[in-house]
Amino acid sequence: MTPLTFSSSADAPRQAARLVARTFRLDADTLAKLPGGVSSLMGDGARVWLHPGTQLVAHGVAARLELPHGIEGGVAWIKETLASIEAADAVGRPGCGPVALGALPFDRTEPAALVVPAQIVGAAPDGTAWVTTIGEGAAPAPHLERAEGHRRSPDSFTLRSALPHEEWCGRVARAVADIQQGALSKVVLARAVDVEANRPIVVEEVLRRLTALYPSCAIFHVDGFLGASPELLLSRRGRAVSSHPLAGTYAVSADVDADRRFAEVLRRSAKDQREHRFVVDAVAAALAPECASLEVPSEPSILSLRNVMHLGTPIHGQLAEAAPDALTLAARLHPTPAVCGTPRQAAEAWLGAHEGIRRGLYAGLVGWVDARGDGDWFIGIRSATVDGARARMVAGVGVVAGSNPEAELVETQLKLQAMLAAIIRP
Ligand X SMILES: C=C(O[C@@H]1C=C(C(=O)O)C=C[C@H]1O)C(=O)O
List residues binding ligand X (CB under 6 A). Answer: 188, 231, 246-249, 310, 338-339, 381-382, 395-398, 415
The minimum distance between CB 120 and ligand X, in angstroms, equals: 28
The minimum distance between CB 390 and ligand X, in angstroms, equals: 19
Contact call for residues 393 and 192 (beta carbons, < 8 A): yes
DSSP helix/strand/coil, 289: helix
Catalytic residue status for 186: yes
Q: Which residue of the set 79, 110, 204, 231 is catalytic?
A: 231
The minimum distance between CB 405 and ligand X, in angstroms, equals: 14
The minimum distance between CB 247 and ligand X, in angstroms, equals: 5
The minimum distance between CB 320 and ligand X, in angstroms, equals: 27
Residue among 372 and 382 whose Cβ is closer to ligand X? 382
Q: Which residues, 6 or more positions from 297, have their beta carbon under 8 angstroms from its beta carbon?
A: 313, 314, 315
Residue among 101 and 190 whose Cβ is closer to ligand X? 190
Contact call for residues 117 and 62 (beta carbons, < 8 A): yes
The minimum distance between CB 191 and ligand X, in angstroms, equals: 9
Write out the H or E segment, with its range, that includes residue 394: strand 390-399
Catalytic residue status for 299: no
CA of residue 48 relative to chain centroid, distance: 11
User: What is the DSSP secondary-structure string of 55-86?
Assistant: EEEEES-SEEEEETTTGGG--HHHHHHHHTSE
Contact call for residues 240 and 296 (beta carbons, < 8 A): no
Residue among 222 and 397 whose Cβ is closer to ligand X? 397
Length of the chain: 426
Angle at alpha carbon of residue 102, lines to 9 and 284, rounded to 5° = 85
Q: Residue 65's beta-bridge partner residues? A: 6, 114
Contact call for residues 273 and 300 (beta carbons, < 8 A): yes
Q: Which residue of the set 110, 186, 355, 411 is catalytic?
A: 186
Spatial separation of the C-alpha atoms in residues 58 and 121, rounded to whole Å: 6
Residue among 78 and 189 whose Cβ is closer to ligand X? 189
Contact call for residues 163 and 385 (beta carbons, < 8 A): no
Spatial separation of the C-alpha atoms in residues 129 and 93, rounded to whole Å: 9
8-state DSSP, 321:
T
Residue among 372 and 415 whose Cβ is closer to ligand X? 415
Closest to 8 in 3D by CA, of 86, 112, 108:
112
Residue among 338 and 424 whose Cβ is closer to ligand X? 338
Which active-site residues does the annotation give? 186, 231
